[in-house]
């Protein structure tokens, strides 16, 4: 565990097997399931950006290029596991039961968007790396209760430079916690490149320093991601402790819709990254296996377009909540000491409406 082996991958950039596949990957249905979700996630992502550009949604972080990571997590996790997401995990959230209209509500500034998915999952975390401490706390609770569940905590490469992440890793290693950290190394923390963030040759080395099994996986290779996440989750659930997976990918989009990546990122770097993108790669593999076809692709694209359109309609037709609703989600039990603040807020709003 003192050093890392090479980056784990089973498919090359053209979707051809470059190593002997795991036994489960000879069955096409799990991979077809992943592919269908990846396509749906990308179409949802495109629509969410369009809604923001037309003033119908707030600032939005695209998941373009990381679909294999998100969907592999969604496929490998069990319903009872706990997901602690960061802000670019739309694919996993959709697979765990969160509705597309709920994701749009969240990014539209409506707290009702945090209610989607399993009750034990955490809401989207926008602050950088703070969710890592929350994940460790949840994992410690599972351990104390002797429950055979695992926690999955996702973060970006920028978050790996924060103390919150390193402190969480340390506790996960010392206490042998049932948590899997999936670090999406998409090469850019807003305008700061991976090379400017950390002098280590691999971000996964930080896990080794905490005594945690750590590895680098090709995050655009669905088979490699599925295999390693499944293995790490089984290890966590059986009492074997934490794992850090550095999923190497590339952010093909702007950081958020408030960003313009063309101002700091070389065009040729982006063009090269498109040649390794995950959806085309898995599609090529499935078509070579005879498990997918142009006709199936057209049918699925049409199905996804209808599903996304229905979700957008649902989102746009949701009645707006009054501003006072933001108080509703702060406390499990409303503290009466805030009654006066709430009343003052409501009265001021009414006065403004009357002006």
Q: What is the largest CA-CA distance in the chain?
A: 71
pTM, 2 dp: 0.94
Per-domain residue ranges for the chain? 23-321, 323-354
What number of other Cβ atoms are within 10 A of residue 28's Cβ? 15
Q: How far, rounded to the nearest angstrom, does the alpha carbon of residue 310 sit from its chain's CA centroid?
A: 23
Nearest to 209 by CA among 218, 198, 194, 220: 198
DSSP state of 334: -
Domain 23-321, architecture per CATH: 3-Layer(aba) Sandwich (3.40)
Q: Which residues, including other chains, have CB under 8 Å from residue 53's CB and lie 6 or more apart?
A: 257
Token output for 328: 């509703």
- Digits of tens for pLDDT over the chain (355 positions)? 446 779 999 999 999 999 999 999 999 999 999 999 999 999 999 999 999 999 999 999 999 999 999 999 999 999 999 999 999 999 999 999 999 999 999 999 998 999 899 999 999 999 999 999 999 999 999 999 999 999 999 999 999 999 999 999 999 999 999 999 999 999 999 999 999 999 999 999 999 999 999 999 999 999 999 999 999 999 999 999 999 999 999 999 999 999 999 999 999 999 999 999 999 999 999 999 999 999 999 999 999 999 999 999 999 999 988 888 888 888 889 999 999 999 999 899 888 887 6
Residue carrying the six token digits 């104390």: 144
Residues 88 and 254: their CA atoms lie apart, in Å, by 12
> The tokens of 290 are what?
């005879």
Q: Cα Rg for the chain, rounded, in angstroms?
A: 21
Q: Are 34 and 75 spatial neighbours (Cβ–Cβ below 8 Å)?
A: yes
Can you list the positions of beta strands (E) in the chain?
82-84, 151-156, 179-185, 188-189, 192-193, 214-218, 243-248
SS3 264: coil
């Amino acid at each position: 565990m003192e050093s890392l082996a090479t980056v784990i991958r089973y498919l090359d950039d053209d979707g051809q097997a470059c190593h002997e596949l795991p036994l489960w990957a000879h069955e096409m249905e799990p991979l077809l399931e992943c592919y269908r979700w990846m396509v749906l996630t990308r179409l949802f992502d495109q629509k969410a950006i369009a809604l923001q550009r037309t003033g119908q949604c707030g600032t939005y972080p695209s998941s373009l290029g990381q679909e294999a990571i998100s969907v592999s997590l969604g496929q490998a996790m069990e319903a009872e596991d706990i997901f602690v997401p960061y802000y670019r995990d739309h694919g996993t959230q959709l697979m765990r039961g969160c509705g597309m209209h709920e994701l749009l509500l969240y990014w539209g500034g409506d707290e009702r968007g945090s209610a989607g998915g399993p009750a034990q999952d955490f809401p989207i975390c926008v602050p950088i790396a703070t969710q890592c401490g929350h994940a460790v706390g949840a994992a410690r609770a599972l351990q104390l209760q002797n429950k055979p569940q695992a926690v999955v905590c996702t973060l970006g490469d920028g978050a790996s430079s924060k103390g919150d992440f390193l402190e969480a890793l340390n506790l996960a290693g010392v206490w042998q916690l049932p948590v899997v950290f999936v670090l999406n190394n998409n090469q850019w923390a807003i305008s700061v490149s991976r090379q400017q963030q950390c002098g280590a040759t691999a971000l996964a080395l930080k896990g080794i320093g905490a005594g945690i099994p750590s590895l680098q996986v090709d995050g655009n290779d669905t088979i490699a991601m599925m295999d390693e996440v499944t293995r790490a989750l089984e290890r966590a659930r059986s009492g074997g402790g934490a794992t850090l997976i550095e999923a190497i990918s590339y952010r093909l989009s702007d950081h958020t819709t408030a960003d313009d990546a063309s101002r700091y990122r070389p065009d040729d770097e982006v063009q090269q990254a498109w040649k390794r993108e995950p959806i085309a790669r898995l599609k090529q593999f499935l078509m070579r296996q005879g498990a997918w076809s142009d006709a199936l692709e057209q049918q699925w694209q049409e199905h996804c377009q209808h599903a996304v359109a229905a979700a957008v309609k649902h989102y746009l037709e949701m009645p707006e909540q009054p501003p006072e609703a933001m108080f509703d989600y702060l406390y499990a039990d409303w503290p009466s000491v805030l009654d006066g603040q709430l009343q003052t807020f409501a009265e001021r709003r009414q006065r403004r409406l009357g002006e």
